[in-house]
Each structure stands twice: as C-alpha cells, then as structure tokens.
Structure 1
C-alpha cells in the first residue's frame, strides 16, 4: 500500500504551474497575489464555490443546505467539526474564512510573541518571528484590506448601544477599551464620509465577481456572509488582484494528496465537484482524480485542512518533522451571553446586538508577558472580550424561544378577541392587541453575546484515527485562563445590570472555536517545528504552509491579519530567493537573469540639520536613530553591468522615530553602484577619474502623511590611509521633504541629515543574501563581482602602489 501511495508523485501530470496554492483564505490569497504579481504562473485550488454579493443564503430552506459535505450533496459555506474537547466552525468558499469572519484585523501584541514559554506536559511555545519582523507586512496587508474603525462619533453610528455599553463596562472595571480595525467599508473610499448603503467603487484591479458593492448597512449579518459586499473579503481584494495579474483561480477543486515530483517540485492530486449533483449523495472517493505539477506548493487550506493533508500524505514526505500535529489551540475562543440588561433605576436597557457589524469594539485584559515577567513565572494569560452581534433573525428566534411568555400572550390575544366578538364591541382597531401579542421584545433587545479569545495553552495534538482527523485537546490545562475570562465577562454583565450565561457547551467544559491554530507549527529546527519562520517545510524545499496551521501557539488577537502578514513575509523572502524558478515558455527557460541582495545600515540623524557629518554628531548626542533595510534588485544583470549608471531598484523600509516611528515602507527606491562623480566636493580635479559614488534615493511617508525622500551617497575614493571599508560602508544621508527627483534636491527643504553605516555583523549577513533568478545565475553573480572589484581597483589603484610606512 505504501509503495502504491508513493507512486502518486510519479504519475504524469496533466499540467504544470510555477506555483500551486491550495486554499484561498488569508494565507493562500496573499500568496496567490504576490506570486501572480511577480509574473509567475499561479493556480489556486479552492474546494468551495464563489459567493458574489446577494448569493449568501438567508431562508430556512437554503440555510439547511448551507453546509459542506460533498458526499451528501452539500456544497455550502459552513464546515463544522466536533472533537474530544471542542467543536470547530470553519468556512468553505472562495475567500476562505474571510467570508464568515467578524472582520477584525488586529495585530498580535508585541509581548505576546513569546519565547521559550513552558507548555504543561513538556516543550515550549516559541515564536521565531517578532512584531518588528511582521510590522512592514502588517502594513502591506492593511493597504490592501483597508481596515476602518467603527465611526462611533458620527450619526447614524453614534447610538450603537452595544458599543457604548462596552465602553462603559471597561471604564467601570478599569480595563482598556478599543474600537477595533475592521475589514468593512463604512465609507466608500478613504477620506470620504461614512454612510450606510453608498456604492463602493471598484479598485484598479477590478472585482472578479463583477457585482456592485455598497457600504455597511449595519445589519449584523457578517458571520453569515455579507450580501451587500461591504466586507473587504479576500475575493474582493487579494483574489481579484491575483486574477488581474493572471492567476488561474479554480473553485470546486479539492486537493486530495500531494507528493514530490520526479526531478523536483511537487505533484498535487485533486477532484472537481459538480454543483449539478447538489442534493444527491455522491461517492466522492470515486471521483476522477487529476494531477498538477508545480515548482512550489503552498498549503493554505486552513489549520484543519492543511494538517489533514500532511498527515494523510506523511508517507510521501519522508523526514517530515515529528512535530506534525502538535501545538494545536483554539486561540482561546469562548462564547457567552448576557441577558435582560437594566439601567441603574432597574429599567430595561437596550443592548441592540443586531445593530452594526458583528463586532465593533473590545476590552483587552493584559498578560503576564505585558508586564515583562519571564516565561513560566506566572500563569496570567491575556485575552480580549469583544461584543458579538447577530442578525435580526436571531432576535426573533430568541423571543419565540420563550415559550411560556409566548403562550401567555397568544392566550390573552385570543381571549380579547373572543370577548370582543361576544360583546360586539364597536372598537375595530386592534393595533394595541397585536402589539401585546408580539411582546415588548425586551429579552432580545437587552441581550448580547460576548466573544472571548486570547492565549490559551497550545498543547493539543492532531492525528488520524481510522482515516479521519482527530484533535486531542481539552480545557483542563487552560482552565485558569478560561476562569479569568469568565470572571471578566460576569463583571461586564454586572456593569449592565444583566444576567450572565455560559454557553451550553461549557456544562461539559467544551468550547467552540472559529480560530483553530497549529498542527504544522513553525520552529527553529525540525525537532521544534514542521516549518521554519518563513513557512517552508523542513527537509522539503519549495513546500510551504502559509495558514493558521503554521502558528506555534495562539495569536491571542483575532488571527486573520497575522496569518496574512506571515504569508506576505514568506512570499517576499521566496521572491528574493535564488531558488525562484524561471518562467516556463514552451517547456524551456529563458529571459534575463536577475540579481538581488539585502543590506541594513544604522546610525544617527539630527532634525533640521543639513550637513550629514554635523547631523551625525548631534543626532548621536540626542539619541535620534535612523535605520534602513533594503533589498537591491537588478532585474537584468547584463544591462546593469553595461549601463554606466549601474542603476537598480531598492525596496524595504526606513525607521526613524523622530520622523514617524515604526518601519516606513519604501514606496519607490533606486540605487546606483559606483556612479562617476564629475564634481567632487573636496578633491582636486586631477583626482576626479578615480572617484566613485554609490547613490541611494528612497521615497517614503512619515508621520501625518508627510512625503519624504532619503538621499544618500557613499563616497568611494582614495585618500591617505586604508579606507576601503569605511568608504564602502558609510552612507551620508539627507532626508528631504517631498518626493523629489535629482533635479529638485537643491530646492527641497531638509528635514534631517546624518550618517548610517553597515556594521560588521550586518555585512557578514549581507554576504549570505545574494540571490539570482533566471538562467545562468552563477555567471551573473560572477559578472557582478567582476564589476564591483574592478570599480574598486579603479578607485583605489594608487593604494596598492603607495609605499608602506616604516
């Protein structure tokens, strides 16, 4: 049997792609876009169907079939699982979990990237990435998903009862309250005024559904799928952009197996589902299987789907880490309800859970790590509690669920009508009686669901049991965490004069998670994780896990943004890698050869100073730091070498707390290697031919949207002393206001000036970052080396002839 399984990868493939992406959630959609944008042939295999605006089911009959089980003829949106200690709800459709998530796009708190945090039963939760590593990629994802905070201070949003109640409870309890960044369009465009029901213009890359979208109508239906298209889901954003750049997106295509392909790369077996079979049982194991080969394979089928695939295909992937299936957690998810809220005078208080998007705000409870406590010294694990709204249909269900009150109202209505008939009452208007029949609706109006999530203990294990996925995880080791969360939720209920109710599942100490994580965790080595910090499977180059399965522990915050940022970071690394395959044309490779390398420089600048040397001195004295991290890319090495300006592109980030904090992405950048300087500042005319400059020009945006340009040069020339290292590692910098071209530098206002350098450890690291792509990589690297050394020889040729001091 095992030999037959391993033969899968040796079957002739039906087709070939540069990259195959399995799944279209937050990890897969980002990967599809990044690779397609880079010009690679990308195929996305998504098992579910597309859901354009207006297609999400709402009627009872449609909702009854809105589940995913192809063997029973169901191809719906929700995929529900039940395991030993918890249940899980995930999505099946184009856009993955973004179709049913509650829109929250939070960054993982910096101190929650824990390291060597002990886990009961052995091992540690260890995040090999940091918040600083992810911040530029959080920025990139936010630019695409365009999160907006709920506009609470503006009508008609200013009377949203549940949001105001959350703020009040946090104030009473002395806890932090925040309006959350939501992937929802309240305003049609950045800077526009928010209002419900406004048309949303399509972005430049279009919309793969071709359907109109409108801003949020505040109907609380986010978790059922947004029929207005107000959610900035992945099908409207990353996947539309990926398709615009040529990605082949295939819905109802379900991956079944994977294996290494002969000669490198991977083969993926998949089946195609047919909606004509909807409502009928299907022998899904008998569906014809097709095969696609690829140079790179990205698994992004979600925590449950990806881990199940890897467990199923373990025999085809020899040497796969024993950590496969470990570090499972539910991201601390817990659901509870408060009911019958009352104000200070004992009167009914409205919480109006169906008004607004599902979630608007959160109360954050700190972690032991937030206080800087060393790992293992405390068991206080942080969490968020968020208002969890619901669609109006849930309010009707809640009211009619109160059978005793409903029967009483029906009885009173019937008696009243009978009395009117007997007495032949002249009163023909019955509005008051009908209002009494419907009731005051206070049960639903005064109720609100609360959703908690945070840092539970990631000690769950996923495995196969008779061919089915099984998860062994219980609330036992996380009981302290859940007890603290339930205590805060009870405190919120008291602040609202409301009753508190655990989920019925909690009676059996079970929870339901919508954020399953882990199973193929990242680590520093195969003994610790299945993948490295860039999602590449240890021992299997070109195979990546870029979804929730790669998390080494709970994100704590809603994990969507972190999964997307990790995927963006991995794709950037892959695209810079020398292992990047050349595009295929008729089965042969061709085109120019590109080269890239990365460098990092650090130093000091002084605001308001125009002279770099003086700026460095004053900046050092005042602690004004500047750091630049760049990837220099020459798309065509032959053209780069032949061009007298030796110009390449520069991308990366600039960090300067004085001008804007954080890592500010380079929006456009250029680099010139050894440009001839015809007018040097401090040498005689006869020395001009031997003088060179390395030139840098970086456009970025600082605090308050201020456009800035970093203009820098390395002055490479021969003067007394052995100064080759100093000249090639020292960058003299001026930061100008505005995005300037060279001709405009002289008239631009100088915001700051200083000096940054490549430190020796960074230089040694830089030597390992040289990458080529396309044919003849080794020859291209040699040509670049000859250019570099030749120019240095021209600049310092007199140094070799200069007599040594004795």
Structure 2
C-alpha cells in the first residue's frame, strides 16, 4: 500500500490541469496514466503512420482501430488509440501521457454563448469561463490560427476550398485556434523534417513534434513543481472507499500490456480524469459492486456523442484530401434551421480518396441520451446509445442542409456511428456539485469530459471546454485541500 495526498487518474486535459494546480499549491500528487510516454525523437519515428501501421497505432488491439483503417493486423502493444465498442456508438479515446491531446486535431474551439446556454445549466457562468478559464487554457497550451503562408501552401488546398466555398455561398467559415507550433509545420513544408501533420498524420500522433500536446505543456509544468509524479503504464482496475479516503487498485504494465506488478494506492483526494467513458465505467462498476455504494443513480447517465459526424464529399476542385492537417478551417452554420452544425475540413489519408474529395468532421447539439449499465456476468460496464432517436438523426439532416446551401459538390457519406468527443456520464451539478465534487463521496472529484451534462460542447470539440471546467474546478477545490 502506497499513500499520497492527492491522486489523479488520467493525464488528458482534466488530469494534466489537476496535476499542475495541485503541484503549484504544494500538494503531493501522483498521476496514473495507463499509456506510455511518447517523446518525439530526433529521428522523427516515435509514432506509427497510416502508411505502415503497427502496434503503436492502437491500445492493446490485434488490429488498427482508426476510421478508414480499422482492421489492419498489428502486434498487440500499448498504442495511442483505443476504440470502445458500444451499442449504437463507438468511441475513440487516446492512451498515453497527454491523453487525448496526443491524437486530437489540436483544435481549441470555444462555443458560442447562445449555443452554450442550450447545453449547460443556467448557473454555469459563461462570462466567467470567457474571462478567466478559456483564456487560461489557451495561454498554457499556446494557441494561434493558421498563418497565411501555411494556408497558401499547396498542401492546404482543402482548407482553402472550404473557406472559398463558404464565402461564395455567403456562409460563415473561419480558421480554428490550434495548439500547434507553426514553425515546425513550416519545417515539414520545407522538407527539413519528415512530413507528418501536413501529410494528414493526426490520429496516431505527430512525429514532427508540431502538436503542443499536454505532455509538452501542462504536464512538464506540473512535474517541475517537484510535487507531481507521473506514472506511465499504470492501469487503474478499481476504486473503493477506505475510511476517510480511497484506495485505487493499479496494474503496472509492460509495453505489450502484460502485468508486471499489482499495487494499491491510498489517498484522501482522488481526481478522476480518465476520459468520459473510462471515468464513468470506473464509477458505475464501483457503485454496482459495492466499492462506492454512496454514488448516486445519476452516475452513468446523460452521456452524449457531441453530435459528431464523419462526412465525405466529392465533385470538388483539387482538394488534396489526404493532406494539410490537422483540421484547420470550419464552416459554421450555427443558425441552421434544421440543426446547428460546425463542419471542419479533415484530411483522411488512410481513406485514399481521389482528388476532388473532401473529408469533414461535423459537430452539433447532440442529446444527452446515452447511458451505462453494469453486467454482473462479465463484470463489465457497457454503453448504450439511441442511434435512431430523432434528436440524434436530426444532426445529420442539419449537416446535409448546410452542405446543400454551399451548392457545390456531392455528399458521398454521412456517418454518425463514431465519436472522438465523448461527453458526460457523471453530469456536472447532477451527479456532482457545481465544481465536480462527487455527491455523497467527500474527497472524490471528476474533472474531465464526464462532467459535461448536455451531450456535447455546443457545436465544438470539447477539449477547450473540458480544460476550462477543470481550471474552474481546481480553483475552487485546491484551497479546501490546502486548508484542510
């Protein structure tokens, strides 16, 4: 049994922020991360690529799991991407020190005020997030929009096509704020480092090091406090009450997922930040097995897929459909009378689409109608999603309406069966108080995407909002820990 003052499960946006703020306050903290560290090397071969996928591409899977490359045999390894299979919806989740920031499109996208109000409770002050916590995340990660010289490059034809289509149709489109080092992107374009993001290599990690992922921003700052220890390849298998604190069961893994050792860690302050699905499954199992019997019935409810869509278009001018990443330009049809949507141009090189095609990722106002149940026979927690519910299918209808308004190209496919932006499961202000303190369980906190109560982040990807909610939560929680 090992003891620590605070314990954080997960190292994505919620976990990395919790680690930094606890460390700054002088709180001895351990961060448990199931995945590996992925330092970008001078040889620029840290991550797998779509051209030659291997075990680094997937979390303990015998096949690849990325969209359009979800069945290539690989060695079983503690890779960067997991595909969680649910009833009605599959979920992509990152694995590694830095969590989902290793495999996301680096987009830090703030919801519009009126749409935020349709998703989040009225008591959650948008002005406070706008004034304090959204800017805090942007500053710490370091964000900027795509520079003009990068946008003008031949590799970024697809992003330009979307912006030009929108301007011609009188629709709103713009460039995202992104956590990217554009000088590294320029080095890719100049051939000074091997092409990575400019060649659409996004979901398996960036070998150039252009991504300002959390293992290069928040987490080094946390470790520099001298109070935070990040333990990679430590997989949490259970949580239980222990007097006035909690005991966490952990498997220490090797790179191939074999268990090297089992241990328990005891803490008075436990922060769950393993991601929406993993955090929720951990708590639902603990409640149903009696390990955390005081958890409310609302734990495991109000889950959503963020209104995510994957869309393929054709019949366009030259687009370079496998180039020019990550997703940089977004068409915002947020007043769409069918359903508000944001549609971002996304290179999908593994799909090997011909010239004139374009991949898009769509985000809408998805409902919070997913839920988790415990299966005693298999000792597992499973996700159920109402894929045919009209509140779900209307988002695809809204995307089709937006694309028809553009008046160009043809829609080849609209897929709503996969999300990389899972939200909810431990809803803020329902299963927790207004800051993520879990109801009925003093010293237990949720600070990741499981908190988002309305099914998604209001037509944006949730990374920035998760970070802002975590910053807000830690500002309220840390003083109580220090003073207590």
TM-score past 0.5 threshold: yes
Q: Distance in 2 between matches of 1:197 and 1:165?
A: 22
- Select which of 512, 516, 522 maps to 2:422: 516
Q: Write the deviation string for residues 63-106 of structure 1: whole angstroms up to 9, x where unpaired.
A: 35632238994311111122221221111111111011011101
Q: Distance in 2 between matches of 1:324 and 1:549?
A: 10
Q: Distance in 2 between matches of 1:25 and 1:214?
A: 27
Task: Report the secondary structure of 1:502's partner residue.
Answer: strand
When normalised by structure 1's length, the TM-score is 0.54
Q: Structure 1 residue 186 and structure 2 residue 176: aligned?
A: no
- Select which of 557, 565, 570 maps to 2:468: 565
- Select which of 55, 60, 66 maps to 1:69: 60
Equivalences for residues 217-236 of structure 1 within 5 A: 218-236=198-216
Q: Structure 1 residue 257 and structure 2 residue 238: aligned?
A: yes
In the TM superposition, what is the alpha-carbon distance from 1:111 to its structure 2 partner? Answer: 1.5
Match in the other structure for 1:51: 38
Equivalences for residues 633-782 of structure 1 within 5 A: 773=483
Match in the other structure for 2:357: 447
Task: Report the secondary structure of 1:230's partner residue.
Answer: coil
**1:151–1:157 CA contact under 8 A, matched in 2:** no
**2:48–2:56 CA contact under 8 A, matched in 1:** no
- The structure-2 alpha-carbon separation of the partners of 1:80 and 1:155, relative to structure 1 and needing over 3 Å to count, comes to closer
Q: Structure 1 residue 552 and structure 2 residue 445: aligned?
A: no
Task: Report the secondary structure of 2:91's partner residue.
Answer: strand
Match in the other structure for 1:502: 413
Match in the other structure for 1:312: 285
Q: Distance in 1 between matches of 2:401 and 2:61?
A: 42
Using CA pairs under 8 Å that are at least 6 residues apart, name the structure with larger relative contact order, 1 or 2: 2
Q: Distance in 2 between matches of 1:113 and 1:59?
A: 36
Equivalences for residues 307-386 of structure 1 within 5 A: 307-314=280-287, 315-341=290-316, 349-367=317-335, 381-386=339-344
Match in the other structure for 1:456: 366
Q: Write the deviation string for residues 635-682 of structure 1: whole angstroms up to 9, x where unpaired.
A: xxxxxxxxxxxxxxxxxxxxxxxxxxxxxxxxxxxxxxxxxxxxxxxx
**1:24–1:46 CA contact under 8 A, matched in 2:** yes
**2:155–2:324 CA contact under 8 A, matched in 1:** no
- Select which of 142, 147, 169 maps to 1:146: 142
Task: Report the secondary structure of 2:418's partner residue.
Answer: strand
Q: Structure 1 residue 134 and structure 2 residue 109: aligned?
A: no
In the TM superposition, what is the alpha-carbon distance from 1:558 to its structure 2 partner? Answer: 0.9
Q: Distance in 2 between matches of 1:195 and 1:227?
A: 14
Q: Write the deviation string for residues 707-753 of structure 1: whole angstroms up to 9, x where unpaired.
A: xxxxxxxxxxxxxxxxxxxxxxxxxxxxxxxxxxxxxxxxxxxxxxx
In the TM superposition, what is the alpha-carbon distance from 1:394 to its structure 2 partner? Answer: 4.4
Task: Report the secondary structure of 2:47's partner residue.
Answer: coil
Q: Distance in 1 between matches of 2:332 and 2:6?
A: 40
Q: Structure 1 residue 470 and structure 2 residue 438: aligned?
A: no
Task: Report the secondary structure of 1:24's partner residue.
Answer: coil
Task: Report the secondary structure of 1:289's partner residue.
Answer: strand
Q: Write the deviation string for residues 507-530 of structure 1: whole angstroms up to 9, x where unpaired.
A: xxx52111111110112xxxxx11
Match in the other structure for 1:480: 394
Q: Distance in 2 between matches of 1:548 and 1:562?
A: 9
In the TM superposition, what is the alpha-carbon distance from 1:318 to its structure 2 partner? Answer: 2.8
What is the RMSD of the two structures over their aligned residues, measured on CA atoms?
2.7
In the TM superposition, what is the alpha-carbon distance from 1:153 to its structure 2 partner? Answer: 5.3
**2:197–2:206 CA contact under 8 A, matched in 1:** no
**1:297–1:544 CA contact under 8 A, matched in 2:** yes
Task: Report the secondary structure of 1:138's partner residue.
Answer: helix
Q: Distance in 2 between matches of 1:39 and 1:89?
A: 34
Which of the pair has more CA radius of gyration? 1
Q: Write the deviation string for residues 574-629 of structure 1: whole angstroms up to 9, x where unpaired.
A: 1233xx24xxxxxxxxxxxxxxxxxxxxxxxxxxxxxxxxxxxxxxxxxxxxxxxx
Q: Distance in 2 between matches of 1:164 and 1:180?
A: 13
When normalised by structure 2's length, the TM-score is 0.87
Q: Distance in 1 between matches of 2:201 and 2:405?
A: 27
- Select which of 286, 290, 294 maps to 2:267: 294
Q: Distance in 1 between matches of 2:302 and 2:381?
A: 15
Task: Report the secondary structure of 2:212's partner residue.
Answer: coil
- The structure-2 alpha-carbon separation of the partners of 1:60 and 1:220, relative to structure 1 and needing over 3 Å to count, comes to closer
Task: Report the secondary structure of 2:182's partner residue.
Answer: coil
- The structure-2 alpha-carbon separation of the partners of 1:217 and 1:484, relative to structure 1 and needing over 3 Å to count, comes to closer
Q: Write the deviation string for residues 366-420 of structure 1: whole angstroms up to 9, x where unpaired.
A: 258xxxxxxxxxx8542200001134x543xx4xxxxxxxxxxxxxxxxxxxxxx
Q: Distance in 2 between matches of 1:322 and 1:533?
A: 17
Matched residues, number: 457
Q: Structure 1 residue 574 and structure 2 residue 484: aligned?
A: no
- Select which of 83, 86, 98 maps to 2:86: 83
Q: Write the deviation string for residues 194-223 of structure 1: whole angstroms up to 9, x where unpaired.
A: 833599xxxxxxxxxxxx999986232122
Match in the other structure for 1:390: 348
In the TM superposition, what is the alpha-carbon distance from 1:340 to its structure 2 partner? Answer: 3.7
